Chain A
Amino acid sequence: KNEVEQSPQNLTAQEGEFITINCSYSVGISALHWLQQHPGGGIVSLFMLSSGKKKHGRLIATINIQEKHSSLHITASHPRDSAVYICAVGLNFGNEKLTFGTGTRLTIIP
């Protein structure tokens, strides 16, 4: 079973700051997902990547396959970005084999 470690566990920042959340895993993977869990509990898929970098709005996700590491960056952070961010990795391309991290709780203060 793949071990997934996220850091930091909790992060508080001021509005406008550049945010970085890290995800490390122990075994080579085929795909990595970044998810966002809203304060109300719902979960939204942000990115799915197997190499390189993806960008959507103010969010950027990168992955380094050799180092078994991924980062999620948020530029110009806003209080509405406050959520738990979850990393999930898959050994193969099947979503039924995903291992989920425990999440990073992000709080953006106005």
Chain B
Amino acid sequence: NAGVTQTPKFRVLKTGQSMTLLCAQDMNHEYMYWYRQDPGMGLRLIHYSVGEGTTAKGEVPDGYNVSRLKKQNFLLGLESAAPSQTSVYFCASSYLRGPFSLFFGEGSRLTVL
């Protein structure tokens, strides 16, 4: 069982470059989430999706865009990367809104120079 898979695991970007992080889940979960984890801070929600074709803003959405064209995939895009977006990004999914356990990916470490 793959669970939640994130690609890529590591990426280095220059300021102004764009990239997309892919999250794929094989558990038929409706809800998917993108978080960022920074030193000394708790996980913060960037965007989330309540089902195929839907997206919503979380706590720190600025500078990011997302899409959920297929139920199993949730993409996080950075159109013009900034050093402040250097972070570890986690994707998670849950069966429904709650209270259901979250299933996390392994994380993607992004460095913006």
Q: Which residues of A contact B (CB under 8 A)?
A: 4, 30-31, 33, 35, 40-45, 48, 50, 86, 88, 90, 92-96, 98-103
Q: Number of contacting residues on B, CB 8 A?
A: 27
Judge whether B74 is part of the interface by a CB distance below 8 angstroms: no
10 closest residue pairs by CB, A with B: A100-B42, A93-B98, A43-B104, A31-B99, A100-B43, A45-B101, A42-B106, A41-B107, A93-B99, A95-B98
Mark each residue of chain B from 70 to 100: 1 if its CB lies under 8 Å from any CB of chain A, else 0.
0000000000000000001010101001111
**Apart from A48-B99, A101-B42, what are 16 other A-B pairs with CB-CB below 8 Å?**
A35-B104, A41-B88, A42-B106, A44-B104, A45-B101, A45-B103, A86-B42, A90-B99, A95-B31, A95-B98, A95-B99, A95-B100, A95-B102, A96-B33, A96-B56, A100-B42
